Amino acid sequence: MREDLLKEVFLDLEEQQRRNEETEASRRQEIREKHPEIAALMEKREDLIQETMRGILRGETAPEDLPERMEEVSGKIRDSLREKGYPENYLAPVYTCPICRDTGYTGEQVRERCTCITERYQAKLRRAIGLPEDGRETFESFNESLFSAEKLPGAEFSQREVMRIIRKTCETWADTCPAQQPRDLVLSGKSGLGKTFLLHAMAARLITRGQQVLLISAYSFLETARKSYFENDDRLEELIGTPVLMLDDLGSEPLLQNVTIEQLFNLINERQRRNLPTVISTNLNQEELRTRYTERIASRLTDKRNVQFLVLRGSDVRTGRK
């Protein structure tokens, strides 16, 4: 996915360059047609450049006063544009990114990708894995006031205090991945407690840090597993081999005989064997995981050596239902 998205970014950049060149040509043509006196100054500046280039090709040295002469003509062009109601840079080259001038790279001796490429890539990656394009689900936008400050039944702490700790745990995990320990993370709790929000916030932070992450729903996993099983292809390998996998809403997918449990075990077991981090959100508690997916899957999702199992408690923040 990463390579395909990068190709798309550079193709987009080429298309942006083409549009910018068309804008620049259109502006020059407009000035030539409406303001011949400015066009004459433009031609004078071009003649200076061409004359200098011809001299260099003949082995001559560029005139020492060339910069001053060029600036004199350019200054007259800027003044004339202002007098006609145009911005003084109306005829300047049009760039979307002033840092790399739409080349995608910076630096002379050591060429590095421009920040605009990183930003474009991250935006495409967010869309590709289903994160909100407005970037509203992040740790920075996490609003703990949405959660009740009343003590939970039978406990000495509130839902807000629980979520404050869990939020911090998830943020630390995202900031230290892939070096974090335990390696895997499970968010368990009923609907409306913020599990998907936290997954999105973690994915957004990982993307910002340049980590490769794949976020899918449990239903999408099942579709991939079903096609992999019945069509005997390697589609499941992308999930197994992705550097960071996030599986949302485990337990909501149908149970298909010889597919769901077998392929889920294969996914979790193989990723743990390869030491690849996995984050799972589920409405099921530990006992329900055992009942639905068998002991061998549940044991891998609750093993404290490899998995941090976080339990979200309280009221549904969308409905207020406990």
Structural element, H or E, at residue 272: helix 260-273
Q: So what's the pLDDT on residue 299?
A: 94
Residue 321 has pLDDT above 60, yes or no: no
Q: So what's the pLDDT on residue 135?
A: 65
CA distances (Å), 111 to each of 10, 117, 209, in order? 16, 13, 21
Give the start-to-end residue ranges of the domains of the chain: 2-116, 129-311
Copy the structure tokens of residue 225: 């597993």
Q: So what's the pLDDT on residue 320?
A: 55
CA distance 173 to 255: 31
Copy the structure tokens of residue 320: 């207020």
Average pLDDT over residues 179-183: 90
Q: So what's the pLDDT on residue 121?
A: 82
Give tens-digit pLDDT for 226-267. Answer: 888 777 767 788 889 989 999 999 999 988 888 889 999 999
Q: So what's the pLDDT on residue 60?
A: 82
**Average pLDDT across the chain, whole number:** 88
CATH superfamily for domain 129-311: P-loop containing nucleotide triphosphate hydrolases (3.40.50.300)
CA dihedral 204, 208, 212, 217 (to 10 degrees): 10
Give this prediction's pTM. 0.72
CA 151 to chain centre: 38
Question: 95: alpha, beta or left, given left = phi > 0 and alpha = psi -120 to 50?
Answer: beta
Of residues 163, 132, 134, the one with CA closest to residue 146: 163
Average pLDDT over residues 101-124: 83
Q: So what's the pLDDT on residue 278?
A: 96
Task: Please report, rounded to a whole number, the percentage of residues in the chain having pLDDT higher than 90.
Answer: 48
Give tens-digit pLDDT for 265-294. Answer: 999 999 999 999 999 999 999 999 999 999
Give tens-digit pLDDT for 122-161. Answer: 788 777 777 766 667 889 988 888 888 888 888 888 999 9
